[in-house]
Amino acid sequence: MGFKLIVFDWDGTLMDSEAEIVASMQAAFEDIGKPPPDREAVRNIIGLGLTEAIAELWPAADAVQRSRVADRYRFHYCSTDRISSRLFPGARRLIDWLLQRGFLLAVATSKSRRGLDSALDETGLTDHFHATRCVDEAHSKPNPEMLRQIMDELGTIGTETLMVGDTEYDMRMAHNAGTSALAICHGVHGRERLLAQGPLDCLETLPDMRSWFERVKAV
């Protein structure tokens, strides 16, 4: 496999942010007087853009109601007393290892540009990625626009690109963009759900990627 570009999802793949997202979404619904969605319902929409996620959680809401929830979600997610999110164990070492081997690295995320830039700054990874795309710069997953923009910017094609993610939305985006996909099942969607989307493999943790790359001779 002649991969040149590795594109990572952020939430649930590189960063363990599930608790922060769930708490912020539940608080947003409470703020406008609506019963908060349960944890599993919120976990299911992680990976979608905020507008699409709220539409899934509250299908009967109109545009004004969805906008109110989105505003309150952003408030809670950006609050100074928010739940802290951290990189998954081994994420930083894996990124360094891939860079040392000459791969181009990118992020395609359903976070906003403000949210991703803040997370990159907090983790010290801003300079580790050659390109990034956020949901306010392209259509939400599983639309392939983010991946296609990244490939165009970095001069790669689908057969040279590997999408790494923890949700079926990542896997479907990769399929729609004509790239390969690799699933990580320490995030929000389970192994069976991920494998149903046809990734090359489904790994338990990020550090497993090193042995996987060596096994398939992608390094």
User: Residues 204-210: what's their mean pLDDT?
Assistant: 94
Mean pLDDT of 74-98: 84
Same domain, 11 and 41: no
The pTM (predicted TM-score) of the whole model is 0.87
Q: What span, in angstroms and rounded, lies between the C-alpha atoms of 81 and 200? A: 39
The CATH number that applies at residue 54 is 1.10.150
| Same structural domain, 90 and 180 | yes
Domain boundary (33, 49, 77) is at 77
Task: Tell me how far apart the alpha carbons of residues 176 and 154 are, in angstroms, rounded to a whole number.
Answer: 19
Asked if residue 182 and residue 131 are part of one domain, the reply reads yes
Measured over the CA atoms of residue 63, residue 64, residue 67 and residue 68, the dihedral's sign is negative
Is the pLDDT assigned to residue 78 strictly greater than 80? no
Do 111 and 163 fall into the same domain?
Answer: yes
Domain that holds residue 66: 18-77
Mean pLDDT of 40-59: 90
Task: Specify whether 58 is located in the same domain as 98.
Answer: no
Comparing 41-55, 74-88, 91-105, the range with the smallest average pLDDT is 74-88
